[in-house]
Amino acid sequence: MKNQLSQSVKPFHALPEEGKFGFLQFFVTLVLFLSVFVGIGQIPLVLALFSKVLDQGEMDSLNYDAMSALLGSNWFLTLMIIPFGFGLLALVLGIKYIHGTSVLAFFTSRASFDWKRVFLSLGIWGGFMTLMLGYSYFNSDTFIWNYHPINFWMLALICLFLLPLQSTCEELLFRSYLFKNMQMVAQPLVRVLICGTLFGLMHGANPEIEVLGRIALVFYIWNGIFLGLITHFDNGMELAIGYHAINNIFAALLVTNNWQALRTEALFIDTASPVFGWDILLTMLVWQPLLFFFFKWKYKWNLKANL
């Protein structure tokens, strides 16, 4: 009965019946988001860097390594998350007051937000990544144990309470707000492709793109499409929010390296040479499709009805 009810809700790709959804409201909300994200959200980082430079002298550069070394990785990560918290707030306020509609409708088509879905997705993908880390650890000599209690537990608090703001902001923007407002594109699956591509291109400035090459953008675009598909067919963002959150928490808290965007005081440092390898291909071609079809079975998605 529960699964039948989940299929009777209004399709997530549709805009709410109540509210204003003209170009003006869309434009003003995006301007608000960008202004808050780039303007207000970046102020703490700029002030922190300026303060450190005054104390310690001129910086050679403003790349990830230099800023992280200057501020400390935990504080730098916190300052990097802050703009996403402001951006998330701006989107929520724009939906509520500029569009004049329900914020819940931009998170799920269900009568209430389904936290069980969030934790199921989080648990499955988190468990899978832990198994993959264990396999890699015992079949490689490139991992270094990096447990420093104070730094690690501070990082754990940041990951659990702040990092989900970053992933939720991205989900609300790409898997919901832009997706729903693309009314000129009638086919929802085309919207999924467009939003997934935009999501991938947004990561084009990440350090790993420079290291791995533009082939890494394929992985980000693929991830965006995967998250868009499970959002579309499940009529809500709960599964995507759980997946995205644990993916980022894992990358920040358990294993890091010296070339990715999240360089932290994680438990392990992987010293292997950067490569677009078998683990990425397996994720794209095997694990994510298997997870998609598990969710389809679990929640009895009617794929044909949502094409």
- For every residue of 221-256, which 3-state class applies, written as one string? HHHHHHHHHHHHHHCECHHHHHHHHHHHHHHHHCEE
Rounded to two decimals, the pTM is 0.93
- Find out whether 29 and 95 touch, Cβ atoms under 8 Å: yes
Per-residue pLDDT of the chain in tens (307 residues, 90 and over written 9): 344 444 456 799 999 999 999 999 999 999 999 999 999 999 999 999 888 877 776 666 677 778 888 899 999 999 999 999 999 999 999 999 999 999 999 999 999 999 999 999 999 999 999 999 999 999 989 999 999 999 999 999 999 999 999 999 999 999 999 999 998 887 999 999 999 999 999 998 888 888 888 888 999 999 999 999 999 999 999 999 999 999 999 999 999 887 777 779 999 999 988 888 788 899 999 999 999 999 999 999 998 877 7
pLDDT given for residue 305 in this prediction: 75
Beta bridge partners of 108: 236
How far apart (Å, rounded) are the C-alpha atoms in residues 289 and 130? 19
Chain-centre distance for alpha carbon 36: 19
How many CB atoms are closer than 10 A to CB 56? 9
Q: Domain limits of the chain?
A: 2-306
Q: Which two tokens stand for residue 125?
A: 């993908």
Q: Are 195 and 174 in contact (CB under 8 A)?
A: yes
Residue 108, classed as helix, strand or coil, is strand
By C-alpha distance, which of 121, 120, 102 is closest to 112? Answer: 102
Query: Which among 226, 129, 125 is positioned nearest to 174, based on CA atoms?
Result: 226
CA distances in angstroms from 53 to 47, 80, 173, 263, listed in the order given: 10, 18, 34, 21
Distance CA 201, CA 220 (A): 8
Q: What confidence score (pLDDT) does residue 57 get? A: 65
- DSSP alpha helix (H) spans, the chain: 2-8, 23-34, 43-56, 64-71, 73-93, 115-138, 149-161, 163-170, 178-181, 188-202, 207-212, 215-234, 238-253, 278-282, 288-299
* Pairing label, strands 255-256, 268-270: parallel
